[in-house]
Amino acid sequence: MTDQNPIEALKALEVLALTAIADAPDADALEDVRVSFLGRKEGRISLILRDLGSMSPEERPAVGQEANRVKGVVCVALEARDLDFAGPGAAGGLDLTLPARGVWQGGLHPITQAVDEIWGIFRDLGFTRARGPEADTEWYNFEALNTPLDHPAADEQDTLYLVDSVLLRSHTSPVQMRTMEKYQPPIRILAPGWVYRRDTYDATHTPAFMQIEGLVIDEGITFVDFKATLAEFARRYWGPGTQTRFRPSFFPFTEPSAEVDVKRVITRPDGSTEETDWLEIMGAGMVDPAVLENAGYDSERYTGFAFGMGPARIAKLKHGVDDLRTFFENDVRFLAQFGS
Amino acid sequence: MKTSYRWLKDMVPGLVLPPKALAEHLALRGAPVEEITSPAAGLGDLVVGRVVTAERHPNADRLSLCTVDGGAGVVSVVCGAPNVKAGSWFPFAPVGAVLPGDFKIKKAKIRGEVSEGMLCSSKELGLGTEHDGILELFGDFVPGQSFVEAMGLSDATLDVEITANRGDLLSHVGVARELASEGEGRVVLAEIPGAIDFSPTFHRGTPEISHGDVSIRIEDTDLCSRYLGVVIRGVKVGPSPEWLQERLRGAGSRPISNVVDATNYILLELGQPLHAFDLNKLGGTSIVVRRAGASPGTFATLDGEKRKVAPDMLMICDAEHPVALAGVMGGLDSEVTNDTVDVLIECALFNPKSIRATRRALAMSTDASYRFERGVDPESMELALQRAVALILATAGGVVDGPVLDCHAVEFTAQTVSLRLSRIERLLGVAFDAAQTTELLTPLGFTVLSEEAGVLSVRVPGFRSYDVTREVDLIEEVARTYGYDRFPSDLGPFRPGTVPDHPLFQLEDDLRRALAARGLYEAQTPAFVPEGEGEVRVSNPLATTEPFIRSALLPSLVRRLEYNLARGNRDVRLFELGTSFRAMGKGEPPLEEPHVAAVMTGRREPAHWSGPVQPLGLWDLKGLLEHAVRQTFKGRGVVAPAEGDVAPYLSGSAFVVLDPGGDPVGAGGLMSPGAVDAPVWAGDVLAFEFRLPPEPGPSPVVVHEPLPQYPAVERDLALLVSTTVAAQSVLDLIRSSSGDLLERVDLFDVYEGEGVSEGRRSIAFRLRFRAPERTLKDKEVDRTITAVLGRLKEELGVEHRG
């Protein structure tokens, strides 16, 4: 072998070895290939490595490097081919049906996932996220939103108070006013957050829950933009065939006000489709001029729309969860069903 | 509001929609129907039965033994009612029938006699309160005919959800008006069967009016603008005729007596609350409308409750005493009873805010107060009183004594609102001309008085005077009547907003994903906690066991961990992001701080057949905490060993979290055993919680460092270190004394025990040196190592182990 350039010899050995590995018919033959090339005593690559000591100092590094490279390539090929022969009963092979070494899975709460999905759609529609305090004042929670405290509309959200006029916000709508006070139009925000009500804890009510507020204000925003934006959201969230229905309603801080319903198209396993009933998903409307004036905006110049929805309710419908309390039990077996 | 389908049909000629379609239609006009029920629900098995014979039961004095013809032959029936008699008709439940309450009629033997069915009282059928006897039916019947059909109970009750602004819809006439706006455009009031023509004269006066010995005076005209009263003498109080009872039942109201039913009928028909007083129980036969005044004491309302009256509450009084809580409920002492002969009927207009304040203070709500709060039509008072009187005269007899006393303190003036056509288009995005707009508003009761240069002048009817006061209110009516669904829905271009995406949301997103990727599940828990876990108290909590809002997330999260352990979940890893509420100065809102917390227990990784798995321990916690802190403070926060107790729930082995400014913002470590209610098999519980920056700054820009071109030299140092010296201080000293060539240093082994003397431990470090521009020489590194070892010995008493 010394009569040949050792680097050339190594390259030739590499080709020989790879061919022999590929041709080996079983694990025993493969072991023979291994011994003939990499065997400690007589292996043909091992021999070259052993000869390194006798080489000139100029030659040595290059040959050493090449020998290690070829050895590495051959080792990898051997291992890969070895797997071909492995299996239950394969002599000396691995039982690859054995379970893998696992890692713990974690994940986001299903309500967070709902909020994220909703937010993702509105982000694509040009919205940014805003926040406000959870403990707020009567002014921001009611009066600034055109809801006098002595009007029956203030009753509908049974409010939890802390001291005097400080309360736990009963909806995310106070973020409307807080945002308008800080920024000038155009406003295009989404405000997810916790809200609190004096509700009994049962299958359909929890005294604290997530709500998502939306607010758009600019010159020239009309009822048509309002309908179009929310219909677009519904189609992106529930699928292209989703229909949207706007029903007149009443919220003190919007006028005209609407409840928004959706009707989805469900595809059955056999490919046929079915329309669901109308499902109420949010309250919304054109921002009341009194609210704009309270924020110091010129209500003759600016118009806009606002909406609010409950991601827990949406998640409940989406995942078939019967009881809202399940979301707060936080049993890891429940949480694990929603992956990460 | 519960509305009778038949009643609506009678009011809107040409209304042909069946109940379900009607409900759909109302929903699209803003008054969705919650449910449709039948007043005869559960009575389908009942038939009309004729009592053929009725004799005393041979073995019981109070029972009768009857034979009843229920259509399917004559059967014997034992009956306990005193009013059973041969030849009369009664509701009859044959064997096999099921009555409301899932009560099944079986063949039975009562005191030795066979009974094959039951004759029923109105109470048993849920149709009334009468339980002294069975319900005798008058008319021409056929034995065995359906009771529901015979009684005309086949009405449908629509429970309409009325929004807080639409007090005018709390009546059949209001709902009918919404329906008529698309039908023949006309609402008619049903004729009252047997009504005597009653055309009263009105005697007006203010603030007092009297006739004969009856007088009415309004003292507090700010709370009561008008009070109408009329006296009817010689009424005979008794049950109402069947048609009236049926109407009331169809609207979900229980019949009581003819006089009371008449006022309830008008309330349901016109939305006008009325009250009937027993005239002879009014001291001085006079009415005074005034605030309760100083030290008012208690007042017994007709439901038998004693109500604590406040000085500002508006009361209806006689010459001496209060006789009614104005607009809320009448008094027990002036109630109409079976012995009442003379009545005074009240029809008044009260201030909505005052009624609301009173009923809230007394924590009660009545049909009357509910309507007054939301606004009662000031323009239909005369009509309401007239119809009520006609109804009483027709059903209870009697004669009207004198004129209607009309104490009219404040005149109602209808408002006129300007409506710009240009504004309609600007808000709705669709143009409407004057003719279209007029056409849309008129059926709802609005009158377009004039139109000039694109501005309409619109008169608002009394029943809408509470909610329609501005131009935008009229625009909503235009949109609603036109139909929301007829507006286009084309997504146009939009401008981006000026509000930046709040950075705390972004931090929360990152943190959630980082912790979930490390195998933790996100939990969500409500902020309400028991005493001791919060600084801020809710003044009106629903659950008295949880009257506080939390100052920390961990206690709630630990309860979720305990919940999981109790259900046999052994591997529990949870985190939560939420708000901490801290008490501030008296009367101030609390300080809100965003927090993150995590708890975990169980195995470090899922079990694997290749070998045992370690439980999660302190070092896992420290690693997780460091990771979370790095995410939060962009690599600038610190996790350091705690000195002393940092948190009561942590054992001695704990860490503190320092923010980039060096301020402590949280802690973590091994939970002390007493802090967790865990089963015996549970392992260590690890936890942390720290405060997030409320307005996180942007992440620092990464400036890349070129990768090294020259080889590194590594040296391992095994050092004997006193147990009183912290590893961190050894590490710090190695770093500070190694010069610029030290690239990194890692602690890779700690050993105590055999071969290492008491009070010391062996700590091994791997130091990697590198020069950026050349290959390092061994000698240089040796010199540095010698210097480092010298400093370590000198300053920390550390010896080189070799």
**pLDDT surpassing 70 at residue B702:** yes
Give the residue with greater pLDDT, B471 vs A277: B471
Phi, psi values for residue A214, rounded to 5°:
-130, 145
B579/A98 touch (CB, cutoff 8 Å), yes or no: no
Beta bridge partners of B211: B214
Residues B660 and B777 in one domain: no
Both tokens assigned to A20: 């022999």
pLDDT at B153: 67
**pLDDT surpassing 60 at residue A1:** no
CA distance B328 to B316: 10
Note whether residue B187 is domain-resident: no
A106/B521 touch (CB, cutoff 8 Å), yes or no: yes
pLDDT at A157: 62
CA distance A225 to A236: 16
What burial letters (b/e) apply to B714-728, b meaning 16+ CB within 10 Å?
ebebebbbeeebeee
B516/A108 touch (CB, cutoff 8 Å), yes or no: yes
Read off the DSSP letter of residue B697. Answer: P
Per-residue pLDDT band for A310 (boundaries 50, 70, 90) equals very high
DSSP helix/strand/coil, B585:
coil
CA distance B417 to B473: 10
Beta bridge partners of B203: B405
Chain B contacts of A116, Cβ < 8 Å?
Answer: 509
Both tokens assigned to A62: 């290059």
Decide: B766 and B684 in contact? Cβ < 8 Å. Answer: no
A155/B164 touch (CB, cutoff 8 Å), yes or no: yes
Decide: B684 and B615 in contact? Cβ < 8 Å. Answer: yes
Chain A contacts of B479, Cβ < 8 Å?
Answer: 223, 248, 256
**pLDDT surpassing 90 at residue B573:** yes
B512/A108 touch (CB, cutoff 8 Å), yes or no: yes
Reported as a single tens digit per residue, the pLDDT across B315-356 is: 999 988 999 999 999 999 999 999 999 999 999 999 999 999
A104/B573 touch (CB, cutoff 8 Å), yes or no: yes
B520/A112 touch (CB, cutoff 8 Å), yes or no: no
DSSP helix/strand/coil, B652:
strand
Q: How far is A205 from chain B (nearest CA, A)?
A: 12
Which residues, in sequence order, are CB contacts of A54 under 8 Å at separation 6+? none
Phi, psi values for residue A11, rounded to 5°:
-60, -40
Q: Beta-strand (E) ranges in chain A?
A: 128-129, 135-137, 160-163, 166-168, 187-196, 208-219, 243-251, 254-263, 265-267, 273-275, 279-287, 302-309
Chain B residues 19-78 with a CB less than 8 Å from chain A: 27-30, 32
| Nearest-CB residue to A106 (from B497, B520, B537) | B520
Identify residue B61 by its one-letter amino acid code. D
Work out whether strand B322-325 and strand B329-330 pair parallel, antiparallel, or are unpaired: antiparallel
Identify residue B780 by its one-letter amino acid code. E
Number of H helices, E strands in chain B: 17, 42
Chain B contacts of A189, Cβ < 8 Å?
Answer: 497, 499
| Nearest-CB residue to B164 (from A156, A206, A335) | A156
Residues B171 and B144 in one domain: no
Residue B273: count of CB within 10 angstroms of its CB: 27
Separation of CA B494 from chain center: 35
Decide: A131 and A193 in contact? Cβ < 8 Å. Answer: yes
Ordered DSSP codes for B516-555? HHTTPEE----SEE-TTS-SEE-SS-SSTT--EE-S-SHH
Residues B163 and B69 in one domain: no
Q: How far is B446 from chain A (nearest CA, A)?
A: 18
Reported as a single tens digit per residue, the pLDDT across B306-323 is: 999 999 999 999 988 999
Residues B479 and B462 in one domain: yes
Per-residue pLDDT band for B457 (boundaries 50, 70, 90) equals very high
DSSP helix/strand/coil, B400:
strand
B521/A336 touch (CB, cutoff 8 Å), yes or no: yes
pLDDT at B723: 92
Residues B459 and B522 in one domain: no
Read off the DSSP letter of residue A288. Answer: P
Q: Is the peptide bond before B547 cis (omega within 30 degrees of 0)?
A: no
Which residues, in sequence order, are CB contacts of A154 under 8 Å at separation 6+? A142, A147, A148
Decide: A312 and A327 in contact? Cβ < 8 Å. Answer: yes
Among candidate residues B357, B388, B408, the one where a domain is terminated: B408
Reported as a single tens digit per residue, the pLDDT across B522-555 is: 999 999 999 999 999 999 988 888 999 999 999 9
Residues B622 and B653 in one domain: yes
> Using N-to-C axis directions, what is the helix angle for B434-441 and B471-482, rounded to 10°?
80
B536/A135 touch (CB, cutoff 8 Å), yes or no: yes
Identify residue B353 by its one-letter amino acid code. K
pLDDT at B424: 98
Note whether residue B24 is domain-resident: yes
Decide: B215 and B207 in contact? Cβ < 8 Å. Answer: no
CA distance A203 to B561: 22
Note whether residue B185 is domain-resident: no
B30/A249 touch (CB, cutoff 8 Å), yes or no: yes
pLDDT at A2: 46
| CATH number for position B592 | 3.30.930.10
Q: How far is B309 from chain A (nearest CA, A)?
A: 19
A330/B564 touch (CB, cutoff 8 Å), yes or no: yes
Note whether residue B191 is domain-resident: no
CA distance A184 to B382: 52
The answer, for B519 touching chain A at a CB cutoff of 8 Å, is: yes
CA distance A177 to B624: 39
Reported as a single tens digit per residue, the pLDDT across B725-767 is: 999 999 999 999 998 999 999 999 999 988 888 899 999 999 9
- Of B60, B64, B44, nearest to B52 by C-alpha is B64
A104/B519 touch (CB, cutoff 8 Å), yes or no: yes
Question: Can you say whether residue A270 is alpha, beta or left, with left for phi > 0 and alpha for psi between -120 and 50 degrees?
Answer: alpha
- Of B565, B568, B595, B567, nearest to B580 by C-alpha is B595
Q: Which of B354, B466, B471, B484 would you mutate first to test chain A, the one with the most A CBs within 10 A?
A: B484
Reported as a single tens digit per residue, the pLDDT across A226-249 is: 999 999 999 999 998 899 999 999
A256/B516 touch (CB, cutoff 8 Å), yes or no: no
The answer, for B591 touching chain A at a CB cutoff of 8 Å, is: no
| Nearest-CB residue to B516 (from A184, A198, A340) | A340
What burial letters (b/e) apply to B89-117, b meaning 16+ CB within 10 Å?
bbbbbbbebebeeeeebeeeebeebebbb
Query: Whats the size of chain A, residue-wise?
Result: 340
> Using N-to-C axis directions, what is the helix angle for B352-361 and B367-374, rounded to 10°?
140
| CATH number for position B460 | 3.30.56.10
Read off the DSSP letter of residue A216. Answer: E
Beta bridge partners of A163: A166
Chain B residues 302-341 with a CB less than 8 Å from chain A: none
Chain B residues 363-402 with a CB less than 8 Å from chain A: 373-374
CA distance B438 to B459: 11
| Nearest-CB residue to A129 (from B32, B502, B524) | B502
**pLDDT surpassing 80 at residue B157:** yes
Reported as a single tens digit per residue, the pLDDT across B195-240 is: 777 788 899 988 889 998 899 999 999 999 999 999 999 999 999 9
Mean pLDDT computed over B627-639: 93
Both tokens assigned to A35: 């011994």
Reported as a single tens digit per residue, the pLDDT across A99-154 is: 999 999 999 999 999 999 999 999 999 999 999 999 999 999 999 999 988 887 77
Please identify which residue in the block is written with the tokens 């007899």: B397
pLDDT at A128: 98
Average pLDDT, chain A: 89
Residues B592 and B732 in one domain: no
pLDDT at B530: 94
Question: Can you say whether residue B112 is alpha, beta or left, with left for phi > 0 and alpha for psi between -120 and 50 degrees?
Answer: left
B498/A137 touch (CB, cutoff 8 Å), yes or no: no
Residues B447 and B507 in one domain: no
**pLDDT surpassing 70 at residue B131:** no
Q: Is B287 exposed, middle or buried (0-12, 13-18, 19+ CB in 10 A)?
A: buried
Max Cα-Cα span within chain B: 129
Report the run of H or E that residue A311 belongs to, with start and end.
Answer: helix A311-319
| CATH number for position B97 | 2.40.50.140
- Of B120, B95, B115, nearest to B105 by C-alpha is B95
Note whether residue B219 is domain-resident: yes
> Using N-to-C axis directions, what is the helix angle for A44-51 and A60-85, rounded to 10°?
160
| Nearest-CB residue to B569 (from A194, A210, A331) | A331
Decide: B197 and B401 in contact? Cβ < 8 Å. Answer: no
Smallest CA–CA distance from A162 into chain B, residue: B538
**pLDDT surpassing 50 at residue B676:** yes
Q: Beta-strand (E) ranges in B163-239?
A: 202-205, 208-211, 214-218, 224-233
The answer, for B545 touching chain A at a CB cutoff of 8 Å, is: no
Per-residue pLDDT band for B713 (boundaries 50, 70, 90) equals very high
Q: Which of B358, B522, B571 would you mutate first to test chain A, the one with the most A CBs within 10 A?
A: B522
| CATH number for position B368 | 3.50.40.10
pLDDT at B802: 65
Residues B137 and B161 in one domain: no
The answer, for B470 touching chain A at a CB cutoff of 8 Å, is: yes
pLDDT at B412: 93
CA distance B310 to B49: 55
**pLDDT surpassing 90 at residue B267:** yes
Note whether residue B137 is domain-resident: yes
Per-residue pLDDT band for A49 (boundaries 50, 70, 90) equals confident
- Of B435, B429, B441, nearest to B454 by C-alpha is B435
B572/A224 touch (CB, cutoff 8 Å), yes or no: no
Mean pLDDT computed over B570-585: 96
| Total count of domains within chain B | 6
B537/A162 touch (CB, cutoff 8 Å), yes or no: yes
Q: Is A183 exposed, middle or buried (0-12, 13-18, 19+ CB in 10 A)?
A: middle
B475/A256 touch (CB, cutoff 8 Å), yes or no: yes
Note whether residue B706 is domain-resident: no
Beta bridge partners of A129: A190
Note whether residue B696 is domain-resident: no
Expressed as residue numbers, the domain containing B768 is 713-800
Mean pLDDT computed over B52-81: 88
Residues B332 and B346 in one domain: yes
CA distance A137 to A135: 7
Average pLDDT, chain B: 91
Residues B394 and B507 in one domain: no
Chain B contacts of A312, Cβ < 8 Å?
Answer: none
B476/A256 touch (CB, cutoff 8 Å), yes or no: yes
Smallest CA–CA distance from A215 into chain B, residue: B497
Chain A contacts of B365, Cβ < 8 Å?
Answer: none
Residues B120 and B220 in one domain: no
To the nearest whole percent, how much of chain A has pLDDT over 70?
A: 96
